[in-house]
Structure 1
């Protein structure tokens, strides 16, 4: 499997010409808040490098208020969110609230070279936006260079007073999955820009796991048995697990031994309840599942299994990432039973639409415009792998972002390597067909919008007869299969500059 070293962007300029942890208290508040009055939620976040050892291996990480992962930001639908970012990393940064539409505030999307300039070191920048029409499971992360690989991530949860499943679960638990590198991203970047390949050293659940220190380089500081994340279950209670994949590269299969899951949400879209045992989740994707604590009182394994076929060497050195589900009344230190689900799932693709259905059927409007983009990778003379969309490799201008060009009146004068596509017709509905000519899968994320996933498949021939235009799922991050295709439909109704890009080390 080929491993790609560089991320790539498709930037779209869109105009309209017509104008973490269990939170039972939120459950109680939501039940009482059907007539909820929006509030202003203010979060003060300091980004700073700290020496930590989440899996026993000591390295420098970017922490947020001293934490890794960063604190979970919680608000309700309709709230105004104010995030004061204090940058003490030692280098410039920018923060993206992943999945937030930023309606009316595209300059707070947090993408360097597109919506803003970099935040200098020792500087405070404020993001200020509202979420009038969104609720669900989101996250925030650095959108500068490879910083989020170094730890600049955290959960962002928008609670919904009108949640149709509100009475179907008792408590919520946030589960943050990640692959994990022992090498700082600055050094990793140099490897990515060389002909070398790189794979994660480990994986984490809620920032914890153990590493076999025998594999650590000589001279490094490493402690065995660093400990696993632990989740407390009370017998017969129902839990909504909000699962977020914050990885740099890795897709996982998520599961809990002997416990079925029912998917109820994907990236802000409620889904019909559907029982599964193992959940495929790619980079930047999020799901909510309901799990009932209906098994005998004991300790169980929560698993995040690397989808190894998606990694360059088959992930030979990587083991299953584990956490502990501890039932109230079970022995504290007894080893959990080992009974993994045996279901076969195809790797490197998403849940198919037969499994993932919207709760409320919404037939998407007919497309008025089609855009076909071919993904290809080429080595330059130095052996650097670069990505191309229709023959153009994206190059941002960090000193003159695309949105600034628009405000400066230069909306019709973009260099080809900005990969700009302008949508300025009222009522436009766009189908984007990606043809992936390369041997790796790519989780693509659209900023400022959601899209309907009409269908995907293998090969370069798009089977349009198979497209689901009746009840497709709507989300913001979807996987383009290796050597395959995908068709996404969206409505460009949010004026601004928004990218669509592969989310591997973006």
Structure 2
């Protein structure tokens, strides 16, 4: 996509949640984990500038939710945001509970302000590093998100590290997301994702003790870093000076050991890496570099965002020496899938159907630049969610729904995305993981080069070549995959879910 302006100012907010490696007792069996979450506005200063944020239990980011494989999650949402909301657990497949997926106008009606709703589902197969976030408009950009970790008693790497640390990477704006969205979805913006915003943020108070995030290491211990990119805009190169990393997980899928110095992590992706504290006792820099080739030229002035890795026994207030890794990495693409291999190889079954979609951005009839898949831009039906239509046996024949129906059990579908836009696009699928068979340049897929022997399986991948999942979602870059609708009709959604739409009707 062509850019016609100067991007807005934003920073990265780091947070760490440190816990010892969980001890999982198989004899305990699955448990029910209850989480009571209040979504509301609060005035905070995470980077020193004071502004109003969307918080979870008063926190930014929200609390870490930790469960074990097989557990049941009962998550009560108390909405006090002043506007409707819905919560999606990113990476949870919601098998047999599609009504708890948390996507407004597809999986559910919204949770109205000053009301409650409970998500209640099991995690029978999901493991690894995930996150939860508001899925209504751009609420998660303003802070409504948090980590969701599913521990696995069969984790092949669980004996190879001493502690876990959750690291969340996030682009953080001094202007609220709704203001930015209104600027973007106007004819005047010409499809520019970013606009110039005064760095001083008029009327904002400054708190000068924000400081850098600090991660505490003990020499010779091994740490599993669970790294989550919760951005709406930014892709990063993550690293720790003088410390190698071994990738062991991508989006909840175990991988073979993959030794790297810097990790490219794009929008909505998650990785686990093992880091050994094998350096002299000192302070070291943890850094997140912007993938600037995916951004407008004005991004060249963005600094590297830093945190501190503090070894026990090192001076508390001494500055860490600058020792960045110097190896070259490709930007605007995922970690090389030729080296990112699954822990257990699995031959991909032959496909029974092939689908091809061309991605493009251009003006619609009102002059606003929108995203198009095969010349169709997604527009939600805010009166009647897709899942409700299925239960009511209403045909999904509105072309604006971008809905594709799969009614044969066991079907294997190859989906090809041809990107005619000059930016990268992150794609996340709900309800499934997918095998990444290959990527390349140009406008034609070379099927002879696809990997069907040992491809990585994940739920978020980047279509090359600047990853803006939230902005593009709001622009209409979305498709619905409706699988086995006749089987859905045999299911029985809970009354509380059905009443969400009834409540919405009264509110309208």
* TM-score of the two chains, using structure 1 as the length reference: 0.87
Structure 1: distance between partners of 2:484 and 2:166: 31
Instruction: Give the secondary-structure state (helix, strand or coil) at the position aligned to 1:188.
Output: helix
Aligned-residue offset at 1:199: 4.2
8 Å contact from structure 1 (residues 216, 222) kept in 2:
no
The answer to whether residue 417 in structure 2 is matched with residue 425 in structure 1 is no
Aligned-residue offset at 1:391: 0.9
Instruction: Give the secondary-structure state (helix, strand or coil) at the position aligned to 1:291.
Output: strand
8 Å contact from structure 1 (residues 455, 467) kept in 2:
yes
The answer to whether residue 146 in structure 2 is matched with residue 148 in structure 1 is no
8 Å contact from structure 2 (residues 391, 488) kept in 1:
no
What's 1:21 paired with? 17
Aligned-residue offset at 1:317: 4.0
8 Å contact from structure 1 (residues 42, 81) kept in 2:
yes
What's 1:447 paired with? 430
What's 1:467 paired with? 450
Instruction: Give the secondary-structure state (helix, strand or coil) at the position aligned to 2:400.
Output: helix
8 Å contact from structure 2 (residues 405, 484) kept in 1:
no
Aligned-residue offset at 1:316: 3.2
Aligned-residue offset at 1:3: 5.5
8 Å contact from structure 1 (residues 267, 285) kept in 2:
yes
What's 1:179 paired with? 171
Structure with the bigger RCO (C-alpha within 8 Å, sep 6+) is 1
The answer to whether residue 67 in structure 2 is matched with residue 75 in structure 1 is yes
Aligned-residue offset at 1:493: 8.1
More helix, by proportion: 2
What's 1:55 paired with? 47
Structure 1: distance between partners of 2:26 and 2:256: 22
Aligned-residue offset at 1:311: 1.7
Cα shift readout 1:342-363 (whole Å, capped 9, x = no counterpart): 1111110001122200010011
In structure 1, stretches of 5+ residues that fail to align are 6-19, 203-213, 484-489, 498-506
Structure 2: distance between partners of 1:59 and 1:465: 52
In structure 2, stretches of 5+ residues that fail to align are 6-15, 467-480, 490-508
Cα shift readout 1:292-344 (whole Å, capped 9, x = no counterpart): 00001011111111111112335134211111100000000100111000111
Aligned to 1:105, which of 58, 83, 97? Answer: 97
More strand, by proportion: 1
8 Å contact from structure 1 (residues 242, 286) kept in 2:
yes
8 Å contact from structure 2 (residues 251, 458) kept in 1:
yes
RMSD: 2.2
The answer to whether residue 448 in structure 2 is matched with residue 456 in structure 1 is no
User: Cα gap change, 1:493/1:265 in structure 2, threshold over 3 Å: closer, same or farther?
Assistant: farther
8 Å contact from structure 1 (residues 199, 311) kept in 2:
no
8 Å contact from structure 2 (residues 405, 482) kept in 1:
no
Aligned length: 461
The answer to whether residue 184 in structure 2 is matched with residue 189 in structure 1 is no
Aligned-residue offset at 1:380: 3.3
Structure 2: distance between partners of 1:4 and 1:400: 37
Structure 2: distance between partners of 1:283 and 1:255: 17
